[in-house]
Amino acid sequence: MEAFLDFVQANVTLAPYAFLGLLILAGFNIPISEDLMLLSSALIAIKNPHLKYELFAGVFLGAYISDLICYGFMGRFLGPKIFQIKFFANMISQEKLDKINSFYAKYGVATLIIGRFIPFGVRNALFLTAGLGKMNAVKFALCDLIACTISCVFFFWLYFTYGESVIDLVKKGNMILFALFAAALTGWFIHKKVQAKKELSSPTETKN
């Protein structure tokens, strides 16, 4: 990754295309940080304001196309077969997908919007789950366009306006969001366990 950052800093006119290409690869679950790409593009834009819009377009289009690849190719096209590929099976468990799917069913579009602000592989798990669950393609594309626009505009503006001074703040915010998301998933898991126990015990209670 350091070699890539050195390259884009030395070849700023090619930077928008480099960010675009690298983020598209992230759609195949290759571990490339969207957050790092937004930060790097914004920092380059600070030093090269004439390329600000091109740099933003590169990361925005890359992030959005990446989402569509993860949803369409990985989720809808490969489907459950993805778990037969060790690389992906180790990254996203069926249990995690089941939990996220319950959030889609309950909160719908809000899941995508909130999920885009949560790092550590949660984003791709959301898009993959939407594909596996056969979410309507047009609905996903439109909802994710809204979510991607909100997150990319916010973070690019934040980094472009305040630079590296907000990195620690963003990291702390990401950790809080991830912790809240993990707590919500844990709560869902506990709720399902309790519900399953009640369903198993209810026939016995009826007989007595």
Query: Which one, of 116, 30, 107, 122, lies nearest residue 73 by Cα?
Result: 30
Q: Is the pLDDT of residue 190 over 60?
A: yes
Amino acid occupying residue 113: I
Look over the chain and give the mean of its residue pLDDT values, rounded to a whole number: 79
Q: Is the pLDDT of residue 94 over 60?
A: yes
- Integer Cα distance of 20 and 56 in angstroms: 10
197 in helix, strand or coil? helix
The answer to whether the beta carbons of residues 28 and 66 sit under 8 Å apart is no
| pLDDT tens digits for range 25-50 | 988 888 888 888 999 999 999 999 99
User: In this structure, what are the phi and psi dihedrals at residue 101, rounded to the nearest 5 degrees?
Assistant: -60, -35
The answer to whether the beta carbons of residues 116 and 145 sit under 8 Å apart is no
Q: What ranges do the domains of the chain cover?
A: 2-200
- Integer Cα distance of 10 and 104 in angstroms: 43
Query: Which one, of 184, 158, 185, lies nearest residue 171 by Cα?
Result: 158
Mean pLDDT confidence for 55-76:
93
**How many CB atoms are located within 10 Å of the residue 1 CB?**
12
- Integer Cα distance of 116 and 5 in angstroms: 23
Give 49's DSSP letter: G
pTM: 0.76
Element (H, E) at 95: helix 94-107
